[in-house]
Amino acid sequence: MRPRAWITLPGCNFNCRGCFAIARRAFGTLMSPSELVALLKKASTEYYGQTSLEEIMITGGEPALNGDFLESLVSSLGEITPRILVQTNASLLTPELLDRLMDKGLDELVCDLKAWDDSLHRWYTGHTNQTVLNNIKYACGRMKITVNTLLIPDVVDAEEIEALAHFLSQCDPKELEYRINPFRADLSPEPMSREPNEEEMKAAVIAAERHLEGSVRSRSCLRESEGGPTTHWITVFPDGRMERRGMENYRERNRALFEK
């Protein structure tokens, strides 16, 4: 079992119609970077039997909502891990902020790229994609970057994904992986589409590989764990409490939030 951790920072500047992330809304407990590191050390010792972690992913919500905090957190995490990743929608990740994060120890970006067509992107997120594309282009030439796109039938289709793949191929990427993942209708707060079938997934991969041969992955979010998809995980709360949870807990929490 690889000793890894995810840090979820709440709040997001996007309002994605299909987002199932609980952290899209502000909640939780205010903690300093040093308090987070202490919490991770304690939880890692209890669960893995060691304070060091192989890698840490900072996700959300949108971690770049507070760039100064994110910079300080990345710097502090270097004490307990050699590998730090940030998952972002890239809208707030300016070149200046990215340079500072790299100086502090950021190793990889994981960017969620929603759509190529700006009107579609505005409809889906409430924001333009122009700053997103510019920031991703800047990052591509400087560090390893993973780009995720959801295949959403009749919304973000194979043609849209091919346009995104073409854009990424023109960014002179240093090290790039493009991931195409299926929309989860069962987790979406808005009944906007259905889950794509296998033929639709294959068609999207073929379209993307016309421009990014050898760099495209399909359903990658289901394959990151050795032995198959992750079904459960350990949630560490700010008070140090640890709880084993699964997708059903996630669905229940989502339903409670979205019904408010």
Weakest mean pLDDT among 15-19, 25-29, 140-144 = 25-29
Residue 111: C-alpha distances to residues 171, 176, 229, 234, 252 (Å): 14, 11, 21, 24, 27
Read off the pTM.
0.89
* Average pLDDT over all residues of the chain: 89
Please tell me the predicted confidence (pLDDT) of residue 260: 54
Q: Is the preceding peptide bond at 61 cis, omega within 30 degrees of 0?
A: yes
> Averaged over 7-18, what is the pLDDT?
93
pLDDT-based confidence at 187, cuts 50/70/90? confident
d(CA 95, CA 10): 23
In this predicted structure, the answer to whether residue 159 has a pLDDT above a threshold of 80 is yes
Greater confidence (237 vs 120) lies with: 120
Please tell me the predicted confidence (pLDDT) of residue 224: 46
In this predicted structure, the answer to whether residue 253 has a pLDDT above a threshold of 80 is no
pLDDT-based confidence at 241, cuts 50/70/90? confident
Helix (H) or strand (E) holding 141: none
Instruction: Tell me the torsion sign for CA atoms 109, 66, 119, 259.
Output: positive
Instruction: Tell me the torsion sign for CA atoms 250, 11, 40, 100.
Output: positive
> Averaged over 138-159, what is the pLDDT?
96
Weakest mean pLDDT among 24-28, 222-226, 229-233 = 222-226
Please tell me the predicted confidence (pLDDT) of residue 230: 57
* Radius of gyration of the chain measured on its C-alpha atoms: 18
| CATH code where residue 177 lies | 3.20.20.70
DSSP structure string for 172-230: --SEEEEEEEE--TTT-SS-------HHHHHHHHHHHHTTSTT-EEESGGGSSSTTS--
Structural domains of the chain, count: 1
Q: Domain span at residue 254?
A: 4-258
In this predicted structure, the answer to whether residue 207 has a pLDDT above a threshold of 90 is yes
Greater confidence (154 vs 242) lies with: 154
Residues whose CB is less than 8 angstroms from the CB of residue 246 and which lie 6 or more positions away in sequence, other chains included:
231, 232, 233
Please tell me the predicted confidence (pLDDT) of residue 225: 43
Please tell me the predicted confidence (pLDDT) of residue 209: 96
Beta strands, E only, 91-151: 108-112, 144-151
